Amino acid sequence: MSVFITNLLDYLVFLFERLDWLSVVDILLVATVFFLILLLLRDTQAIVLLRGGLVLIALLGVLTSLEVLPAFSWLMSNTFPALILAIPVIFAPEIRRALERLGRTSTILPASQRTGFDIVESLVAAVIRLANRKHGALIVLHRSDSLQEFINTGVPLDARLTSEILLQIFYPNTPLHDGAVIIKDNRVVAASCVMPLSSSGSLVRSPEREMGLRHRAALGTSEVGDAVSIVVSEETGTISITHGGRMISNLNSERLKNILQTFYQPEEPENVLARIFLRIFPAAGRHHLEGE
CATH assignment of 116-267+282-291, among 3.30.70.260, 3.30.565.10, 3.40.50.10470, 3.40.1700.10: 3.40.1700.10
Tens digit of each residue's pLDDT (9 = 90 or more) over 52-73: 667 777 777 777 666 667 777 7
Distance (Å, rounded) from C-alpha 265 to C-alpha 271? 17
3-state SS of the chain: helix, strand, coil percent to 5?
60, 10, 30
Decide if pLDDT at 41 tops 60: yes
Higher pLDDT, 99 or 29: 29
What is the mean pLDDT of the segment spanning 19-34?
85
Question: Which pLDDT value is given to residue 148?
Answer: 87
Decide if pLDDT at 157 tops 80: yes
CA distances from 171 to 130, 150, 156, 165 (A): 9, 22, 18, 10
The counts of H helices and E strands in the chain are: 11, 7
Question: Which pLDDT value is given to residue 147?
Answer: 87
Distance (Å, rounded) from C-alpha 277 to C-alpha 271? 10
What is the mean pLDDT of the segment spanning 182-190?
91
Higher pLDDT, 53 or 234: 234
The neighbouring-strand residues paired with 159 are: 188
At residue 270 the predicted structure's pLDDT band, cuts being 50, 70 and 90, is very low
What is the mean pLDDT of the segment spanning 101-111?
48
What is the residue extent of each domain of the chain? 2-106, 116-267+282-291
DSSP summary character for residue 111:
P
Distance (Å, rounded) from C-alpha 115 to C-alpha 170? 24
Decide if pLDDT at 172 tops 80: yes
Q: Which of 154-158, 200-204, 248-252 has the lowest mean pLDDT?
A: 200-204
Distance (Å, rounded) from C-alpha 15 to C-alpha 224? 44
Task: Judge contact between 202 and 162, C-beta under 8 A.
Answer: no
With a CB cutoff of 8 Å and minimum separation 6, the contacts of 142 are 182, 183, 184, 185, 189, 227
Question: Which pLDDT value is given to residue 261?
Answer: 86
Decide if pLDDT at 203 tops 50: yes
Smallest Cα–Cα separation from 283: which of 252, 248, 231, 232? 248
- With 0-12 / 13-18 / 19 or more C-beta atoms within 10 angstroms meaning exposed / middle / buried, residue 287 is exposed
With a CB cutoff of 8 Å and minimum separation 6, the contacts of 251 are 239, 240, 241, 259
Kindly state the percentage of the chain with pLDDT values over 70.
Answer: 66
pTM of the model: 0.60
Decide if pLDDT at 227 tops 70: yes
What's the first-to-final CA gap in the chain, in angstroms?
53
Please report the DSSP string for 122-187 in residue order. Answer: HHHHHHHHHHHHT--EEEEE--SS--HHHHTTSEEEEEE--HHHHHHHTSTTSTTSSSEEEEETTE
Decide if pLDDT at 142 tops 70: yes
Decide if pLDDT at 6 tops 90: no
